[in-house]
Structure 1
Amino acid sequence: MHMVKRSLPFHLLLSLPATGVGFALAVQISALSWILTTQYGLHIEEVGLVWAAGPLAGIIGQVLIGIISDKTWFWGGRRKPFIFLGGLISAPMLLALPNLDAVGAALGLEALLGIAILVALSLDLAINVSFNPARTLIADVTEEGAERTRSYTWMQTVSGTFGVLAYAIGALYGNITLIYVAVVVVLAFSLIPPLFIEEPRELPELSEASQGESSLWIAVQSIKPLWGFIAYALYAMPARVLGVSFDHLWIEYAALGFTLVMMASNLFSDDSSNPRSGFQKVATANALSWVGIQTMFVYMIAYVQTRMPMLDDLSTGEVMSISFLILNAVGAIFPTLILKPIATRIGSAFTMAGCTAIMAFGYLGITASATSAISLYLWMVVVGIGWAGVVSLPFDVLSRNAEPKRLGLFMGLFNLSIVLPQLFVSLGIGLMVGAMNDQGLIFVISAVSLALSAIAWWKVGERSRK
């Protein structure tokens, strides 16, 4: 399928729907843990449970929306209608975050934890309804190769710039103001830009090997390296809801060990007879990245409170907002200026290997020496280099390992390599963090995870060269 060469203004326009969804996600990252701990007094384990609602929404939302959007056409597109719907749902859920008491009163509920989970689940479901179509839309309307790499890196540059704006607003004016600004941004970017983007009505046909295969069978086989995370989620979510707990962590360690074995088997085995191996390797590398990154997002507050006990609640929130501002500033600048030229020369997968290795080094630096706000900020610059790669280049690598006719499905399955690790972090790593005598060691988990991810991305690059 031939496509015209796209101009820079078009790439910028194409990036806005994903930017709107990303802005909502940035607000959630910046404000959710802070609101729940300081405004509502939830403990760190309860905060982890609330965060678990997001990955659960992603598991359901992105895969389902991906399958549906591949096979449907209404309101002038296959991806655009879901971008509209996601924006219309996200806005009121953002408004609910600082008003959980009012939401509970309106619903006649008193259990704050349950209300927080309900709101977080609804917000994440709305975000996931939009995120898959917004990213898949880019691949649908751009040519594979340098053109698509350019579009995805510009997506992250624009999205990252607004992410910086989000954390700047949070740092300067507070998280409550940030939430109200986000409502406007999300609505504007979800409803207006898609009106000016024309989707192709027809996509390339499936290969002969893929014809006749059900979406369910493809999904089960494609996420084989993540089966351990799925098994743990099926155990942990009901256990937490029912209040079942143990005084040991061997189930968590067993799930983690099984997953690592499955991942290693995929990365280092002969894959000539496995048509899904390319996607599986990409999913493995991405999942390892997100174990470490989500640990940072959820438990950064525990690190700051442990290593910087002199800070009050307001100052803790400011330090976190500035830290994530720096992370996203680097994440906005690097993709188009630095990573795109490197990826064009050596490939996106090898570039990702370098990014994640640098990120692992940054996490070790935080653990070793970040005992003040300034030192934490400096190390977040290093971590941001890895973040710039993680939020831009994997989508380019994915699009080269998935059939266009089923790109929505594979984009949804790829999201499982994000949300399943997030779920494990919220439920499993949360128990490990709670059992730590020194919660300042949280970033050791992140460093090890990103180092393993660097190895996995290198293996993806080696396969691409064959």
Structure 2
Amino acid sequence: MTGRPRQSLAGLWNISFGFFGIQVAFGLQNANVSRIFQSLGSDVDSLALFWIAGPITGLIVQPLVGHFSDRTWGRFGRRRPYFLVGAVLAAMALTGMPHAPVLMAAVLLLWMLDASINVSMEPFRAFVGDMVGPAQRTMGYAFQTAFIGAGAVLGSLAPFAITAMGASNVAPPGVIPDAVRYAFYLGAAAILSAVLWTVLVTREYPPEALRAFAGEDATPASDDGKVGNAVAQILRDIVNMPGEMKRLAVVQLFSWSALFIMWVYTTPVVTRYVFGSTDTASKAYNDGADWVGILFSVYNGVAVPAAFVLPLLVRRIGCARTHMICLLIGAGGFAAMLGIRDAQMLILPMIAIGIAWASILTMPYAMLANALPSGKLGVYMGIFNFFIVLPQLFIAVVMGPVIHRFFPTEPIWTIAIAAVLMGCAALAMLRLSDRPQEATGIRADPNLAL
């Protein structure tokens, strides 16, 4: 056997559907955690530091899960056990977070939530590489991006929609509004049901089949399962990273720094400059926080159709130029936010950011999967996550002091920093050149355009 069988559209759907539930959870987190923290007493200067859970758990959990999932094989498969365990723990954290009695309890539950989501999410990136051959990988990751966008739309809109159905979006100081609590319950149900779908309806290729597909030794390696040995092997893998992965890493550092700034600071920026309130118990503030959920649903919603346009662009101009153009569009979106004070008009820059988001979730992974050995897809996808979480960790540590020192009364300048960083990511793409189309499989796949 020389290659993986082609997946049908239903097969591509099933492989990635679990990501829908994961992103419902992420959408709720990204649009509401700053709101929860501020409701429980956090000031704006401290928000980025309290968000540090995501970067640190990603830095630790993803490479370890990737390493061990590369070496796992049992009656439940290779990646699927990690999907399910992470989903169960994430559902528990989602259920508990809106009931946090004090700020530090909410912070600890964010740590649990982020760690659990990372346990589920990392193997999903490698799962596409396991199950889909090179000629379908761009489309495989496009399906994943579409589910990421759709799930995040649901998560972002949930508090607003539940408020429209009659739940209160206002609560006394120190209390989370009912609409947010019910939305988090919805997120818990979504991540469990969607991940369970993928676990039940997919069957993974056994190690011997992966060996035959790849023409290499894809058998799970034996390192006696000890964490110390795993860390040593991960460090060796970092040293031996392929050159294309190193160049893509620089792009990730800039682009994810910009995204993290957006997730942390959009709520205080929009509530202050567009809705005119910093009082977390006021109706104006909570209406603004609900509107942030709508804005986040816009950029995630745009990512759904954009994900399926990307393969068409790749066929014409290549992966690297496609990604560079999308990042430049995203930088323009951030820049446009600086001068807008009308809630409806903020939808326009979110459309631009959504185009960049679709590319960020698709193109680096499609480029990377074709440059990595199949027996190390899990660990290298986990290592690649370093270059997502390290910039977030940096922003979490330094952004609060920067705000306090240079613009304590004007947090909107955080968005200007995001625009510059996204522009730098686009420029960093000049260091990458497109591999021949035969190598990426783009031209060989007539179904890329659906």
Residues 450 and 217 of structure 1: is their aligned pair in 2 closer, same or farther, counting only changes over 3 Å? farther
Structure 2 equivalent of residue 415 of structure 1: 385
Mapped to 2, the partners of 1:352 and 1:296 lie a distance apart of 20
Please say if residues 356 and 386 of structure 1, whose CA atoms lie closer than 8 Å, have aligned partners that are also in contact.
Answer: yes
Please say if residues 132 and 411 of structure 1, whose CA atoms lie closer than 8 Å, have aligned partners that are also in contact.
Answer: yes
Mapped to 2, the partners of 1:168 and 1:71 lie a distance apart of 39
Pairwise mapping of residues 170-209 of structure 1 onto structure 2 (< 5 A)? 170-173=159-162, 174-202=179-207, 203-204=210-211, 205=216
Higher share of residues assigned helix: 1
Mapped to 1, the partners of 2:260 and 2:396 lie a distance apart of 8
The answer to whether 1:168 aligns with 2:173 is: no
How far is 1:33 from its partner? 0.8
Q: What is the DSSP-based 3-state SS (H/G/I as helix, E as strand, rest coil) of the residue aligned with 1:391? A: helix
Mapped to 2, the partners of 1:462 and 1:351 lie a distance apart of 10
1:187-230 deviation line (CA, Å, top 9, x unaligned): 101223212211111234359xxxx9x86567447668xxxxxx
Residues 68 and 301 of structure 1: is their aligned pair in 2 closer, same or farther, counting only changes over 3 Å? same
Match for 1:122 among 103, 112, 119? 112
Mapped to 1, the partners of 2:331 and 2:368 lie a distance apart of 22
Deviates more, 1:321-330 or 1:44-53: 44-53
What amino acid maps onto 1:28 in structure 2? Q
How far is 1:144 from its partner? 0.9
Pairwise mapping of residues 67-78 of structure 1 onto structure 2 (< 5 A)? 67-78=67-78
Match for 1:332 among 298, 304, 309? 304
Structure 1 equivalent of residue 253 of structure 2: 287
The answer to whether 1:350 aligns with 2:321 is: yes
What amino acid maps onto 2:202 in structure 1? I
Q: What is the DSSP-based 3-state SS (H/G/I as helix, E as strand, rest coil) of the residue aligned with 2:387? A: helix
Structure 1 equivalent of residue 173 of structure 2: none
Pairwise mapping of residues 115-264 of structure 1 onto structure 2 (< 5 A)? 115-145=105-135, 147-173=136-162, 174-202=179-207, 203-204=210-211, 205=216, 216=231, 219-220=234-235
Structure 1 equivalent of residue 361 of structure 2: 391
Residues 298 and 221 of structure 1: is their aligned pair in 2 closer, same or farther, counting only changes over 3 Å? farther
Structure 2 equivalent of residue 88 of structure 1: 88
How far is 1:345 from its partner? 2.8
1:156-214 deviation line (CA, Å, top 9, x unaligned): 1123122212222222224332211111111101223212211111234359xxxx9x8
The answer to whether 1:277 aligns with 2:243 is: yes
Structure 2 equivalent of residue 233 of structure 1: none
Mapped to 2, the partners of 1:58 and 1:195 lie a distance apart of 26
Please say if residues 99 and 181 of structure 2, whose CA atoms lie closer than 8 Å, have aligned partners that are also in contact.
Answer: no
The answer to whether 1:458 aligns with 2:430 is: yes
Match for 2:263 among 294, 297, 301? 297
Residues 133 and 357 of structure 1: is their aligned pair in 2 closer, same or farther, counting only changes over 3 Å? same
What amino acid maps onto 2:255 in structure 1? S
Structure 2 equivalent of residue 245 of structure 1: none
The answer to whether 1:404 aligns with 2:374 is: yes
Mapped to 2, the partners of 1:138 and 1:72 lie a distance apart of 16
Mapped to 1, the partners of 2:153 and 2:430 lie a distance apart of 30
Give unpaired runs (5+ residues) of structure 2.
Answer: 163-178, 224-228, 278-283, 440-450
The answer to whether 1:316 aligns with 2:288 is: yes
Pairwise mapping of residues 338-377 of structure 1 onto structure 2 (< 5 A)? 338-367=309-338, 369-377=339-347
Mapped to 1, the partners of 2:241 and 2:191 lie a distance apart of 38
1:49-91 deviation line (CA, Å, top 9, x unaligned): 2210111111111110000011111242110000010111010
The answer to whether 1:307 aligns with 2:278 is: no
What amino acid maps onto 2:12 in structure 1? H
- Paired residues, number: 400
Please report the TM-score for the alignment, with normalisation by the length of structure 1. Answer: 0.81
Mapped to 2, the partners of 1:455 and 1:218 lie a distance apart of 33
Mapped to 1, the partners of 2:244 and 2:217 lie a distance apart of 17
Structure 2 equivalent of residue 265 of structure 1: none
Deviates more, 1:313-322 or 1:426-435: 426-435
What amino acid maps onto 1:26 in structure 2? G
Please say if residues 79 and 137 of structure 1, whose CA atoms lie closer than 8 Å, have aligned partners that are also in contact.
Answer: yes
Mapped to 2, the partners of 1:98 and 1:52 lie a distance apart of 19
Please report the TM-score for the alignment, with normalisation by the length of structure 2. Answer: 0.83
Measured on the aligned residues, the alpha-carbon RMSD in Å equals 2.4
How far is 1:429 from its partner? 2.0
Mapped to 1, the partners of 2:252 and 2:262 lie a distance apart of 16
Mapped to 2, the partners of 1:96 and 1:286 lie a distance apart of 32
Structure 1 equivalent of residue 226 of structure 2: none
How far is 1:117 from its partner? 2.4
1:127-153 deviation line (CA, Å, top 9, x unaligned): 0000011121111010013x1111110
Give unpaired runs (5+ residues) of structure 1.
Answer: 102-111, 225-273
1:315-342 deviation line (CA, Å, top 9, x unaligned): 1212211110111111112111x21211
Mapped to 1, the partners of 2:108 and 2:66 lie a distance apart of 23
Structure 2 equivalent of residue 254 of structure 1: none
What amino acid maps onto 1:85 in structure 2? V
1:94-118 deviation line (CA, Å, top 9, x unaligned): 01111111xxxxxxxxxx3432221
Mapped to 1, the partners of 2:384 and 2:123 lie a distance apart of 13
What amino acid maps onto 2:313 in structure 1? I
Mapped to 2, the partners of 1:41 and 1:464 lie a distance apart of 54
